[in-house]
Structure 1
């Protein structure tokens, strides 16, 4: 069954995992599928806003978009069928909302091999797998 619309959820702070998710999405998409690469940025507490540069938000987003564009190119994704964007919020919620919004067939994300702590405490990957309304492909890596 081909996947026409794929959400690749990445964390730009984990470049090896982000590359793995994008490469996995590119492979599954083949030559016809659309890939939407999403990075969910953390909320910044307002009490820290005075400590940050006035253009922090814009620079953070621009840096993330630049990294994701480079990784998409590395994976051979065609820019005409690839969208790259960020959101702010809870990772699980934003990924699922985006999958529903775009009527995605599949969510692709990468995760480290599970450790005892992630088995006990859970993770974003686990939450997405358990609550996603569509299929989820978890690309496992040995990256640390």
Structure 2
């Protein structure tokens, strides 16, 4: 099966995993496909908003996008066929919503080897695999 629209969901706080997901998406997309790179940012509890600088949200997004652009470039992705963006919310929900919105035919995520706690409590990767309406590739790596 040829995948032409790929959503790579990454966590910028795990650069090695993010690089692995983006590199795999780039390889699968080849010279024809489009890769959308998404980082889902954590909710900001309103009670903490007073502790954060006024431009925290913008700086967090800018830093995440800069990292993702670097990793996309390292993977050899063509800027014309790559979209990089962030969302704020629950990882599973945002990834699945974006896959549907962008009509992705594959979601690529990287995940470390599962631990006992992630097997018992679940993980974002597991939730996406179980809920996704499209194919999901989980790139396994020991890197954190």
Q: Give the match for residue 27 of structure 1.
A: 27
**CA positional deviation for 1:46:** 0.4
Deviation per CA, 1:55-106: give whole Å up to 9, x if none. 0000000000000000000000000000000000000000000000011000
Counterparts of 1:1-144 in structure 2 under 5 Å? 1-144=1-144
Q: TM-score with structure 1 length normalisation?
A: 0.99
Deviation per CA, 1:110-135: give whole Å up to 9, x if none. 00011111111100000000000000
Instruction: Compute the RMSD of aligned alpha carbons.
Output: 0.5
**CA positional deviation for 1:11:** 0.3
- Number of corresponding residues: 144
Where has structure 1 moved over 4 Å in runs of 4 or more? Answer: none
SS at match of 2:104: coil
Q: TM-score with structure 2 length normalisation?
A: 0.99
CA distance in 2: counterparts of 1:73 and 1:118, whole angstroms: 31
Deviation per CA, 1:19-77: give whole Å up to 9, x if none. 00000100111110000000000110000000000000000000000000000000000
Unaligned residue ranges in structure 1 (runs of 5+):
none
Unaligned residue ranges in structure 2 (runs of 5+):
none
CA distance in 2: counterparts of 1:116 and 1:45, whole angstroms: 29
